[in-house]
Amino acid sequence: MNKLFIYTFAILLLQGCSNETKLTEEDAILFLDEMEEFSTEEGPIASSAYWISSNFITYDSQKVVADYSKRYSLLSVENARRAAEFDDVDVTKDTRRKLNFVKSGFVMPSPLDEGLATEIANLKAELSAMYGSGRHCFEDGTCYDLEGFEQIIDNSRNPEDLLMAWSGWREIGKPMKEKYLRMVEIGEMGSKDLGFEGLSDLWFSKYDMSSDEFLSDVDRVWEEVKPLYDALHCHVRGELNEFYGDEVVKNDGMIPAHILGNMWAQSWSNIYDLVYEPSSVDASINLTQIIQEENLSEVDMVRVAEDFFVSLGFERLADTFWERSLFVKPRDRDVTCHASAWNLDSEEDLRIKMCIQKNEEDFVTIHHELGHIFYYQAYNHLPSIYESGANDGFHEAVGDLLSLSITPAYLKELGYINEEQYLDAISDPISLLMKQALEGIVVIPWTLILDKWRSQVFSGDVEADQLNNLWWELRESYQGVKAPIARDYDAFDPGAKYHIPGNTPYTRYYLARIMQYQFHESLCNDIGFDGPLHECTIYNNPEAGEKLKSMLALGSSVPWQDAFEELTGVRELSGESIINYYSPLKEWLDEKNEGRQCGW
């Protein structure tokens, strides 16, 4: 790491000189050039350290990644301070954009203090490892990790088993609480040292508009979509009441979180069979069954997703992707199984990390993760500072966009269903739309909750002993979902969701869920699709691929509104495309809910 220290010294030297001479744009460009060189040389080493820490969860791997995290945190803070010295220098828009990125390129920054940098780096590594290696054992000696608990939540219809799995996984959150609060405390100090009001101000500073304007936009679009979610909630609650009875779920209030078929109740697709009965057996496509019948391996499933992008005109993935990715959970070690895509060296070292299960959910997730990979591929020609999505929601939106094209027409093109099965499937549009909505609509209020909770934690507006109560207040308000049992005084249920201990901002997923439908509708219009929006697939359409690639290639080199306009022709978020997509389902839900007491 000698280059790291040499580079730090050079930055400090420049900083000292700047106090005596007036800085110019040439100085700023020199500074940015040196950062680019450093990122190219040292970035892949750090990326490899993080890859190892996620794929080999051991004491030593966590020590290594904590050390790298500390070093890069200190250097990044110093870089940000240096960039701030150019605030009053007259520079081009491009140079100003790059300097602003240097200042705001943090999630949980440390102050420029080696002791605090070491502490927060250790806390980050510890929290990540606690989640990735999390398991809970019961009095009878049976132990489960997340995958074991999820198998029960996803498939069981026994309320007692579901409650056991739901509450068991949340035991892993309890030891995280104090560590998490200390990490936030240091992160608040670090963000203020960088000139921000706090972590929330830092997090929402990256959207090419004021934080207030951005958050107002977020709430506006949610109000446009909420009537559809409310109608879906009302129907699902009524059907679950019929199946489980009043003892488990009442027909006039909130839904207990453990019976919704997902560990976090962020998707309800696993209870599809309880809330909708297709007009005929053949009208519903069982993709999990198809995967089994086609005898697809985990790698085969990834190659199918790669073929989707190739059909749009993208280049095939390099051999290194197939050699270095993780597709199957190892039997001999702990790994963080949360699916993720990795861009390790800004060239050809692109990978995914995923413990693939041979089911429909993971088939869709693979398409999503490859959306990230091909986004990386599209903008890897840019300076490293621009190698990201136009905003942090774009990456997720591109992955989610592909899920909307996994239609009966796409499955017929793959040879997974025949013409008769295709006609049966499209004859019952509610079957497809219900399955889509139980994931795509259900998740929208969930995507708002995490950062709303964190904002109050970051600001100190909530006492430590009220953190869990706030979590459930938000979930009840936005989702109409409640904890199935009273929570322990020391519960820290947010810690049971990867993105909390992993410090992954979540508003990006909200943006993605809105933008994906706008992207989809725009591309379907561009290719001249004439039919219900939910039947459109962009598979095997180079015209759609060319337009998509054009937007992806911009990375973050322009304001996100410019990239958004490149693909959609408009500059604002809107819920209208979602409403258009699900309009047949909304009409059907309104009929089914007549006479029901909706709301909670």
3-state helix, strand, coil in the chain (%, to 5): 65, 5, 30
- Catalytic residue from among 150, 188, 360, 369: 369
User: What is the Rg, in whole angstroms, of the alpha carbon atoms belonging to the chain?
Assistant: 24
**What one-character-per-residue DSSP string does 515-569 give?**
HHHHHHHHHHHHTT--S-GGG---TT-HHHHHHHHHHHTTTTSS-HHHHHHHHHS
Neighbours of 567 (CB within 10 A): 24
Distance in angstroms (rounded) separating the CA atoms of residues 417 and 426: 12
- Catalytic residue from among 136, 233, 372, 499: 499
Please enumerate in sequence order all residues whose Cβ is within 8 A of that of 157, keeping only pairs 6 or more positions apart, or say none.
Answer: 243, 274
**Torsion of Cα atoms, 520 then 215 then 173 then 130, to 10°:** 70
Region of residue 351 (left: phi > 0; alpha: psi -120 to 50; beta: else): beta
Chain-centroid distance, C-alpha 415: 31
Distance in angstroms (rounded) separating the CA atoms of residues 564 and 391: 10
499 in catalytic set: yes
CA distances from 598 to 225, 228, 231, 388, 478 (A): 16, 12, 8, 42, 14
Do residues 550 and 196 make contact, with C-beta atoms less than 8 angstroms apart? no
What are the structure tokens assigned to 296, written together? 């697809």
Neighbours of 121 (CB within 10 A): 24
User: Strand 481-482 to strand 255-256: parallel, antiparallel, or no bridges (unpaired)?
Assistant: parallel
Which long-range contacts does 92-95 make (Cβ < 8 Å, 24+ apart)?
A: 92/25, 94/557, 95/25, 95/28, 95/29, 95/32
Q: Which of 221, 215, 211, 227 is nearest to 572 (CA)?
A: 221
Distance in angstroms (rounded) separating the CA atoms of residues 449 and 299: 34
**What one-character-per-residue DSSP string does 174-211 give?**
GGGHHHHHHHHHHHHHHHHHTT-SSHHHHHTT-SSS-H
Owner of token pair 């020590």: 63
Distance in angstroms (rounded) separating the CA atoms of residues 214 and 476: 24
Three-state secondary structure along 41-57? HHHHHHHHHHHHHHHCC
What DSSP designation does 347 have? Answer: S
Strand, helix or coil at 443?
A: helix
Active centre residues (catalytic)? 369, 499
